[in-house]
């Protein structure tokens, strides 16, 4: 293994040679006699550890040049570990240097074995710091908690998740369908101190209202006809953990009241029960609806909205974070290709363009579906727009003059309307905004069979 690099900054050439001789066995030793050459070696060789004599030329009796060297080196490499070498009775300067960012100090005359202990510790710390920095950078590149995204909008979302996860407040997650709301809810739970307790998701839109109430709050035996046994609801299952109410906009007004009561008093009652049950559960909610609109339509309680949305995390639609789209597409392609054992190396240029131009109304879910399909359909080593079903509508009119293109488009339109209306020309004409005779005329002209 290579020896770690050490820079010795010392203007006394005897001392320099002596240190080099004593340390060369353990380190690759570089030397510098003044500030300028020290900075040169630092930028060229990037030694993680430096020993610095404060008295450097042009004024070897003062310390100004040494302090300047310290400042310059730290500015060049924020992680470099500088060990100040001082004469006897210069402790004050050494401490001042540490205040300005030096790692440690060492008094002359130099005891090499002692110096080695200090150096080894400095190298170790430097390595740990470099590894930590690398991990942080990787995390930034790859995303967070299974969520990919390098765009600043997603970095903001990640940082909000980190901030809110340790707080105990409810969080409202809003965003279009397929933007990752459920993923965010899971991330908040896993980042919180409740991570060892249950995460209980429930989709309020997927369960009929009469069942939802007992699903959420549980019921007592005999509470209604089918209630043969007592049953605990999701609130009780989430005890100590997190309850995720997905599609909260679908919750009926009467259940909104019950939820509000829980948020105010941390208490619930089972359906048909009289006993109040104290629940310690954090509530996260998500919706792709415009709750403000629902409030003004009288479908959502304003007081509940403010209770739930103490903190709101807004997920941007995919089309508003262009730089993420290709990152996501590439990552998903790698995942599905290896799952399907297919050797696919990337996207063709037209496919990249199609991905960038598409509007992604279904957001990441749509992207996942298109790429899953493309991996299965692709014949070559690259994904084409056809594999993604993202062929530009203009493609078939390419290499045609405007007149031919217009006729081809008209023919497509008319044929589609006729097929859709199962051959009923009156209906087809009215859908196309044409009179029946005009439709006949056009069909004649374009050679469409009746």
Ligand X SMILES: Nc1ncnc2c1ncn2[C@@H]1O[C@H](COP(=O)(O)OP(=O)(O)OP(=O)(O)O)[C@@H](O)[C@H]1O
Q: Give the Cα separation of 107 and 262 in Å (integer).
A: 66
Q: Which residues pair with 12 in a beta bridge?
A: none
Indicate the residue among 72 and 182 with the shorter CB distance to ligand X: 182
Concatenate the DSSP letters of all residues of 373-421 into one string. HHHHH--SSEE-TTTTT---TTGGGTT--HHHHHHHHHHHHHHHHHHHT
Question: What residue 365 binds from ligand X, Mg ion, none (CB within 5 to 8 A, per partner kind)?
Answer: ligand X
Binder of Mg ion out of 104, 182, 415, 431 (CB under 5 A): 182
Indicate the residue among 182 and 366 with the shorter CB distance to Mg ion: 182
Indicate the residue among 27 and 360 with the shorter CB distance to ligand X: 360
Q: Give the Cα separation of 48 and 5 in Å (integer).
A: 7
Q: Is the CB of residue 129 less than 8 Å from the CB of residue 121?
A: no
Question: What residue 316 binds from Mg ion, ligand X, none (CB within 5 to 8 A, per partner kind)?
Answer: none
Indicate the residue among 182 and 431 with the shorter CB distance to Mg ion: 182
Q: Rule CB under 6 A: which of 140-159 touch ligand X? A: 147-149
| Size, binding site for Mg ion by CB under 5 A | 1
Indicate the residue among 264 and 293 with the shorter CB distance to ligand X: 293
Q: Give the Cα separation of 192 and 242 in Å (integer).
A: 10
Q: Rule CB under 6 A: which of 257-296 touch ligand X? A: 288
Locate 296 and state its tokens: 């003004």
Q: Give the Cα separation of 117 and 57 in Å (integer).
A: 29
Q: Give the Cα separation of 352 and 8 in Å (integer).
A: 52
Nearest to 177 by CA among 155, 198, 205: 205
Per-residue x/- mask for ligand X, residues 167 to 196, rule CB under 6 A? --------x-xxxxxxx-------------
* Smallest distance, ligand X to C-beta of residue 108, A: 57
Locate 74 and state its tokens: 């730290």
**Contact partners, residue 357, CB within 8 Å, separation at least 6:** 392
Question: What residue 149 binds from ligand X, Mg ion, none (CB within 5 to 8 A, per partner kind)?
Answer: ligand X
Indicate the residue among 96 and 365 with the shorter CB distance to ligand X: 365
Question: What residue 177 binds from Mg ion, ligand X, none (CB within 5 to 8 A, per partner kind)?
Answer: ligand X
Answer whether the bond into residue 88 is a cis peptide, omega within 30°: no
Indicate the residue among 173 and 268 with the shorter CB distance to ligand X: 173
| Residue 368 near Mg ion by CB under 5 A | no
* Smallest distance, ligand X to C-beta of residue 450, A: 43
CB neighbour class for 348 (10 Å; exposed up to 12, middle 13-18, buried from 19): middle
* Smallest distance, Mg ion to C-beta of residue 188, A: 14
* Smallest distance, Mg ion to C-beta of residue 365, A: 9
Q: Which stretch binds Mg ion (CB under 5 A): 175-183, 188-196, 269-277, 421-429?
A: 175-183
| Residue 364 near ligand X by CB under 6 A | yes
Indicate the residue among 256 and 288 with the shorter CB distance to ligand X: 288
Indicate the residue among 174 and 271 with the shorter CB distance to Mg ion: 174
Question: What residue 153 binds from Mg ion, ligand X, none (CB within 5 to 8 A, per partner kind)?
Answer: none
At 29 the three-state DSSP class reads: strand
| Residue 386 near Mg ion by CB under 5 A | no
* Smallest distance, Mg ion to C-beta of residue 317, A: 14
Q: Rule CB under 6 A: which of 305-344 touch ligand X? A: 328
Q: Is the CB of residue 158 less than 8 Å from the CB of residue 143?
A: yes
| Size, binding site for ligand X by CB under 6 A | 16
Opening angle at CA 247, ends 246 and 249, nearest 5: 135
* Smallest distance, ligand X to C-beta of residue 139, A: 14
H-assigned helices in 100-147 = 112-142
Locate 134 and state its tokens: 């690398």
* Smallest distance, ligand X to C-beta of residue 310, A: 20
* Smallest distance, ligand X to C-beta of residue 288, A: 4
Q: How far is CA 439 from CA 36, 403, 421, 429, 443, in A?
A: 86, 19, 14, 6, 6
Q: Which residues pair with 86 in a beta bridge?
A: 107
State which residue has the least CB distance to ligand X.
Answer: 180
Indicate the residue among 38 and 364 with the shorter CB distance to ligand X: 364
Nearest to 379 by CA among 354, 328, 343: 343
| Residue 368 near ligand X by CB under 6 A | yes
Indicate the residue among 93 and 179 with the shorter CB distance to ligand X: 179
Which helix (H) or strand (E) segment holds residue 268: the answer is: strand 267-269
**Contacting positions for Mg ion (CB under 5 A):** 182
Summarize as ranges the residues that interact with ligand X (CB under 6 A): 147-149, 175, 177-183, 288, 328, 364-365, 368
């Amino acid at each position: 293994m290579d020896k770690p690099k050490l820079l010795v900054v010392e203007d006394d050439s005897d001392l320099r040679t002596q240190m080099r001789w004593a340390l060369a066995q353990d380190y690759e030793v570089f030397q510098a006699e003044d500030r300028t050459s020290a900075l040169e070696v630092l930028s060229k060789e990037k030694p993680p550890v430096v020993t610095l004599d404060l008295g450097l030329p042009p004024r070897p009796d003062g310390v100004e040049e040494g302090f300047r060297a310290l400042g310059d080196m730290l500015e060049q490499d924020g992680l470099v570990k500088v060990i100040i070498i001082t004469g006897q009775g210069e402790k004050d300067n050494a401490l001042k240097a540490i205040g300005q960012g030096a790692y440690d100090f060492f008094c002359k005359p130099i005891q090499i074995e002692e110096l080695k202990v200090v150096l080894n510790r400095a190298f170790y710390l430097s390595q740990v710091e470099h590894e930590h920095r690398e991990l942080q950078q990787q995390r930034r590149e790859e995303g967070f908690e299974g969520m990919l995204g390098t765009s600043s909008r997603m970095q903001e979302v990640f940082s909000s998740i980190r901030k809110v996860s340790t707080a105990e407040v409810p969080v409202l997650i809003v965003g279009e369908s397929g933007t990752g709301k459920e993923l965010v809810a899971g991330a908040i739970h896993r980042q919180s101190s409740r991570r060892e307790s249950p995460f209980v998701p429930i989709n309020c839109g997927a369960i009929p209202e009469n069942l939802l109430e007992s699903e959420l709050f549980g019921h007592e035996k005999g509470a209604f006809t089918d209630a043969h046994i007592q049953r605990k609801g999701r609130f009780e299952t989430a005890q100590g953990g997190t309850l995720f109410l997905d599609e909260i906009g679908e919750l009926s007004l009467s259940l909104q009241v019950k939820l509000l009561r829980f948020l105010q008093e941390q208490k619930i009652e089972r359906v048909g029960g009289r006993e109040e049950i104290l629940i310690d559960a954090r509530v996260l909610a998500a919706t792709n609806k415009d709750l403000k609109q629902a409030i003004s339509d009288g479908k959502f309680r304003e007081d509940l909205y403010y209770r739930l949305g103490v903190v709101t995390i807004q997920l941007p639609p995919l089309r508003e974070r262009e730089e993420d789209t290709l990152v996501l597409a590439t990552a998903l392609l790698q995942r599905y290709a290896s799952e399907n054992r297919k050797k696919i190396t990337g996207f063709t240029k037209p496919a990249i363009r199609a991905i960038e131009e598409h509007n992604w109304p279904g957001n990441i879910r749509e992207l996942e579906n298109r790429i899953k399909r493309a991996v299965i359909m692709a014949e070559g080593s690259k994904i084409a727009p056809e594999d993604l079903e993202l062929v530009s509508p203009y493609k078939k009119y390419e290499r045609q003059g405007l007149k031919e293109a217009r006729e081809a488009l008209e023919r497509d339109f008319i044929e589609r309307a006729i097929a859709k209306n199962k051959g009923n020309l009156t209906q087809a004409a009215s859908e196309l905004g044409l009179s029946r005779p005009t439709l006949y005329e056009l069909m004649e002209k374009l050679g469409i069979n009746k």
